[in-house]
Chains A and B, each alone.
Chain A
C-alpha cells in the first residue's frame, strides 16, 4: 500500500507538485491521470524515493520514505520515466543485474526471470542483446527488470507510452494479473482510455495538485457528465492550452 500525504516539490522557482495526497491500496490499480507536465512523474519519483519532497510524506507499507528510503525501495518495483537498458547485455542479463543488486540469490533470480518472461511474453527474447529492440520490447524488459524481486508495490510511469495496440493489450493483461496477485499497482498515464480500462481508482492530477479522486463512476458524477474524457478535460482544464 502506498500513501502520499501533502506531497510538494519545488525546483528553484518552479512548483512542480503542490500538495498531492492519495492512497493506493493493495489488490487495486490506482491511476494517476493528468496532462503532460501536470506533476505525475515528479510525484512518482518522490514515491520511489528518487526525489526528496519539499513537503509532505510518503509511506509504503507503513515505512516512511524519508526515514528509510532503502527499505521503501526494497518494497517497490518502479518503471521510471527513464527506462534505458544496457544494449550490450542480453535481456536475461539486464534483469539478472537488478536481481543481484537487490541481493537475490541466483536460483531465485532465474525462477523470477522465467515467471516474468511468461507474464510479459518475453521468452523468445531472453538471450538476445537488447540492442535494436523495438520500443515495446524495451518496455517489457524494463518492466521485468523492475519486478525481478516480486515487489508488493508496483509503480508504472506511463507504461504504454509509444506502444502499439498489441503490446498495449498484453501489458494491460499483465497489470491485471499483478492486481490478481494482490499487488498495489500505481500507474500513471495521460491517456484517458488507458486509465478507464484498467484502474479501480483514478487520481486526476493537474497543475501539481489533485483535481479529482475516485472511481471512474465517481469522477464522471463529480464532473457532471457521462463521458469520462469530457470529465477529464473539464477537471484538468487541459483544453485551456496545456501541452
Chain B
C-alpha cells in the first residue's frame, strides 16, 4: 500500500508539473462547458422571445381588411412587410411573411376560395416558432369566418368542428429545460475522459516511450501496485476535472437564475452533488479503460489515437440516445455510460432518483475498473508489452 501511494504521489506531482497540459485541461473544463450552456440558453430564450410577442408581417394588408381586423382583435402586432420580403426571408432577417393578393377582399366577400401565401424558409430552426404562429393565426381566422358564416345560415358552429383540439403541454418548464440541457450530462460523461486521459497515457505508453518503464519494473514491487497507483492518480485527475467542469455549470446556472430563467437552468448544489456522485464511479471506469488501452501504445501519440477512439465511442452514447429516442429501461443501468446518462437525465428532469439507479451503474463501473486495472498489471508482466512488440 505504501508503494501504491508512492506511485500515486509521483504521478500526481508529475502531472501537475506539466503546466501546459494542466492549463489546457483547466481552460477546457472551466470555460467551455458554461460557455456552451450560455450560448444554448441565449438561443433558447431568443426562441421564447420571438414566439411570445405575437407579431405578423403582412404584404398587402390593405387588400385584407377582414384579416387585419381579426388580427387586431387577437392583439397581434401587424407589420407591413418590406417589398423585398422574399430575399429577406431567404437571408434569414425575416421569419415568415403572409402575402395577401390584391383580389383577396372581393373573393372573401363572395365566399370564394381566398388564397394567401405564407413565405418562409424552414431550413432555419429559429424561425419555426414564427412560422407556426402565422399558420395558427390563419387557421383561427379561417375558423372564425366559417363559424360566422354558419351562424348566419342558422347552423351550429360545432358542426364544423367535430374534434376540438386543446393543447396541453405536459412538460413542466423545468422538463423543457432538461430536454435542451442534454449538454450537461454530455459534459459530465466527457469530462472524466478529458481529465483522465493525459495521466493515463503518460503513466503507461509515456513511461514506455521515455524508457523509464524498464527501470521502474526492476524495482521489487508487484506490477499490481504500479497499475493500482497509476490508476488511482488517473482517477483522481478525472474526478478533479469533472468536479471543476460541473462547478462551472453551477456557476453559469446561478448567473442565469438572476435573469429569471431558473426554469431552464435548474442546476444548483443538490444537482451538482448527485452529478458528482454519478460521475465519480464512471471516472474510475474510464480512467482504467484509458490506461488499459494506452498500455498497448508504443508511444504517447499512438496511445492518444487509441484513447480518442474510446472518447468517440463514449460520446456516441448520448447522441445515440438522443436520436434513437430510446426509452428508459432497467437494463440500461447495467450498461456503462448509458446507465450514468439515464441517471443524470433523471436528475436534470427533477425526477426521483432511486438509489438503485446510482448504485447499479456504479457497481458495474467499479467491476470493470478492477478488471481493467488487473489487466494492466498482467500486461506489465508481459515481455512483449514491456520490451516492445517485436
Please give the residue numbers on chain A whose beta carbons come within 8 Å of chain B beta carbons, in ascending order.
11, 45, 48-52, 70-71, 73-74, 76, 78-89, 93, 97-98, 100-103, 129, 142, 145-146
Contacts and interface: CB of A to CB of B under 8 A. Distances in A.
Contact of B214 (A50, A89, A93, A101): A50
18 contacts: A11-B390, A45-B387, A50-B383, A50-B387, A51-B383, A74-B220, A79-B215, A80-B218, A83-B211, A84-B215, A88-B18, A97-B6, A97-B10, A101-B219, A101-B221, A102-B220, A103-B2, A145-B215
B124 interface: no
A82 B3 contact: no
Nearest to A14: B390
B18 A73 contact: no
Interface string B55-93: 000000000000000000000000000000000000000
B225 to A, nearest CB: 8
Interface string B364-390: 000000000000000000010011001
B219 A73 contact: yes
B210 interface: yes
Interface of B: 2-3, 6-7, 10, 13-14, 17-18, 207, 210-222, 383, 386-387, 390
A84 B7 CA distance: 16
Given A50-B386, A103-B3, A82 B221 contact: no
Contact of A50 (B14, B217, B221): B217
Contacts of A103: 2-3
Contacts of B18: 88
Contacts of B6: 97, 100-101
A206 B387 CA distance: 22
Contacts of B218: 48-50, 73, 76, 78, 80, 146
Contacts of B207: 84
Contacts of B216: 101
B220 A70 contact: yes
Given A88-B14, A103-B3, A82 B222 contact: no
Contacts of A145: 215
Contact of A84 (B210, B217, B219, B383): B210
A209 B222 CA distance: 31
Given A73-B220, A89-B13, A100-B6, 5 more contacts: A80-B218, A86-B212, A98-B219, A100-B3, A102-B221
B17 A88 contact: yes
Contacts of B390: 11
Contacts of A142: 215
A121 B387 CA distance: 31
Nearest to B221: A101
A200 to B, nearest CB: 25
B215 A101 contact: no
Given A50-B386, A51-B383, A88-B17, A70 B211 contact: no
Nearest to B390: A11
B10 A89 contact: yes
A92 to B, nearest CB: 12
Nearest to A89: B14
Interface centre among B3, B13, B220 (most CB of A within 10 A): B220
B290 to A, nearest CB: 20
Nearest to A70: B220
Interface centre among B2, B218, B222, B387 (most CB of A within 10 A): B218
Nearest to A145: B215
A79 B14 CA distance: 22
B14 A86 contact: yes
Contacts of B222: 70
A81 B221 CA distance: 19
B219 A81 contact: no
Contacts of B211: 82-84
Contacts of B17: 88-89, 129
Contacts of B217: 50
Contacts of A83: 211, 215
Contacts of A70: 220-222
A125 B181 CA distance: 53
Nearest to A42: B387
A37 to B, nearest CB: 13
Interface centre among A71, A74, A88 (most CB of B within 10 A): A88
Given A70-B220, A86-B14, A101 B7 contact: yes
Nearest to B15: A88
A15 to B, nearest CB: 14
Contacts of B220: 70-71, 73-74, 102
Nearest to A69: B220
Contacts of B3: 100-101, 103
Interface centre among B207, B219, B390 (most CB of A within 10 A): B219
For the complex of A and B, 8 pairs with smallest distance between CB atoms: A84-B211, A82-B211, A84-B212, A100-B6, A73-B220, A84-B210, A82-B214, A88-B17
Nearest to A74: B220
A231 to B, nearest CB: 32
A142 B13 CA distance: 20
Contacts of A49: 218
Nearest to A98: B219
Contacts of A11: 390
B356 to A, nearest CB: 42
B126 to A, nearest CB: 48
Contacts of A101: 3, 6-7, 216, 219, 221
Given A89-B13, A89-B14, A80 B214 contact: yes
Contacts of A129: 17
